[in-house]
Structure 1
């Protein structure tokens, strides 16, 4: 196999994926585009990543789209689910996932530029948004797969202000730290809901 690099786009299954990290013989990848729109959970009730319907879907129906050879390359990992840095709402228990969503530390500190100082030292005016002028916002913008000229917002697995909200990336790349409604997403969008960009660790 040719040498792979962070930032490179690869094909796996039916999707194109961006390499976010490489460790030894494995790579963390995330879909290059928002591949579909789904609710975070199928009931409007308190939940965390561990119990939400989107996690069940990604590790069930979505995972089963891959053939056996592809499944053998998807590495199960233990994910830490941290509390909301501003509101203290609980991230829930650690989870073992084959397919997962990125969390706020992934998108702020690790894989889309480093804005960690703003995360670990929250400003007093940070109540709804992470930082409108953050230099790394443009790195977090994502396009819809079926309309590559259209940006949309996409879910993270991190909890929002309360346990019926989850953090998300706005269309402009800023982070909605208060979160969107887990069932209806951004209610002003009507019937549309949050974008899904699955991530996984792939055996190279």
Structure 2
């Protein structure tokens, strides 16, 4: 197995994003469903959002027992939004999670320079050569998907645009139930 490979694990196809000793960070190749980030429009961080609860309970419980034993509970670091300074909340332990702004910029090409050196830009640069690497399909069309990081305030969550792969650092309304989910996890090899 190598970074960039596509593998089948349980019922989904996954992309390998990182390899460390005897484990691999994987993300679903496609958007697996649509859900709101949170069920109430109020300041919310990853630690307390509905989508985190769902991924680590109902979604996780659908895995076969043999496959659950290969999912490593990970320390999920939650950096603040680097453009707006929005607090991301406490780091947590999760079996399944969404990528952060930093991770989506690092693992899909390397656009971390654009993330941490905003300059005078109000929105993500459309000329980022890595945008197309972040695009994902839901059904038969490209669609936007959630990240776990906050947007410009804590009633917005960061996301990836569907048709151009731009990173939505400013965020989308956390109660928007059209947000795509691309779960990620650390897999024991």
Q: TM-score, normalised by structure 1?
A: 0.90
Q: Could you say what secondary structure the match of 2:51 adopts? A: helix
Correspondence 1:68 to 2:60: no
Match of 1:130 among 105, 124, 131: 124
The normalised TM-score by structure 2 is 0.97
Q: Please name the residue that 1:159 is paired with.
A: 150
How far is the alpha carbon of 1:107 from its aligned partner?
A: 1.2
Residue-by-residue CA offset, 1:165-197 (whole Å, 9 max, x unaligned): 00000011001111000002xxxxxxx611000
Distance 2:180 2:21 in 1: 30
Of stretches 115-124 and 71-80 in structure 1, the one that deviates more from structure 2 is 115-124
Whole-angstrom distance in 2 between the partners of 1:20 and 1:45: 32
**Structure 2: which 5+ residue stretches go unaligned?**
none
Mapped to 2, the partners of 1:157 and 1:137 lie a distance apart of 18
Corresponding residue SS for 1:173: coil
In the other structure, the counterpart of 1:49 is 46
Residue matched to 1:189 = none
Q: CA RMSD in A?
A: 0.9
Aligned residues: 188
Matches within 5 A, 1:14-163: 14-108=11-105, 110-125=106-121, 127=122, 129-144=123-138, 146-147=139-140, 150-163=141-154
Mapped partners of 1:143, 1:53: distance in 2: 23
Give the Cα–Cα distance (whole angstroms) in 2 for the partners of residues 111 and 29 of structure 1: 10
**Matched residue, 1:168:** 159
In the alignment, structure 1 segments of 5+ residues that lack a partner are 185-191
Question: Runs of 4+ in structure 1 displaced over 2 angstroms?
Answer: none
Correspondent of 2:179 among 194, 200, 204: 194
Return the alpha-carbon distance in structure 1 between the equivalents of residues 29 and 74 of structure 2: 21
> Deviation at 1:123?
1.4
CA distance in 2, matches of 1:193, 1:82: 25
Residues 102-146 of structure 1: per-residue CA shift (max 9 Å, x gap): 0111111x2111122212211112x2x2211101001000111x3
